[in-house]
Amino acid sequence: MLEAVSNTQPVTQSQAAQTSASETAKQAADDNFNLFLSLLTTQLQNQDPLDPMDTGEMTNQLVQFSSVEQSIATNSNLEELISLTNSQASDNAVQYIGKEVEALSTARGFTEGGTSDWRFSVAEDSPEISISIVDSSGASVYSETLSEDAGTYDFSWDGSLNEGGTASDGTYFLSVTALDADGEPVNTDVRTFGTVDTVDFTSDPPILMVDGLPVSLTSITSVSKPKDEAS
């Protein structure tokens, strides 16, 4: 079933890996600092009183000493900044829980007796829009052809299969391709929408679980209050 939408609007490294890299960098800076300090102290202790270290050389080494010290301080500040950024990202992600979101995604869950709903946009009038529902193995299980004006449409699938019968429960993907009157490709995009149930912090950035399926924060296109809270 297809329904036009009046409001038209034409998917990293983990936190653990970042933390490990930061700790490694800090440890390397600390080791360099300690090594430099040890070498400079040994050099001062063993210099010839009658032929002391050249003042210019001493100055150069002290400048290096200061540079190493600043490097450690910089790494420490960067570590704090990364920690703060990760904390803010986590706080922001938590605020999505319970909200209705729309995201660039082709995946949708299906349960027998229900429907799977997507939203897609067509940039130009298209006399030939090919709709295909694909299962997790990549096989097309349902298809139809439409002809629509440019705009945004809601598409609802009740699980009907090409060969008859009803699809089994699982995750399915919507593929939309469109051609203009000259047979040239027309830009399309597919979006899914639903309620954010939980947030998965094992990925960076965190992953939102929307109606049980993972959605990247960067793919979110809109956020709204649940319908029962919107009034």
What is the tens place of the pLDDT at every residue in 122-177? 999 999 999 999 999 999 999 999 999 999 999 999 999 999 999 999 999 999 99
pLDDT at 88: 62
Given a cut of 70, whether residue 118 has pLDDT beyond it is yes
Query: Which of 22, 5, 33, 45 shows the shortest CA–CA distance to 148?
Result: 5
Q: What is the mean pLDDT of the chain?
A: 81
pTM over 0.85: no
Contact 135, 108 (CB under 8 A): no
Given a cut of 50, whether residue 209 has pLDDT beyond it is yes
C-alpha to C-alpha distance for 194 and 88, rounded to whole angstroms: 24
Contact 33, 66 (CB under 8 A): no
C-alpha to C-alpha distance for 208 and 20, rounded to whole angstroms: 24
| CA within 13 Å, CB half, 227 | 3
Given a cut of 60, whether residue 45 has pLDDT beyond it is yes
C-alpha to C-alpha distance for 212 and 35, rounded to whole angstroms: 52
Average pLDDT over residues 53-79: 66
Average pLDDT over residues 63-72: 67
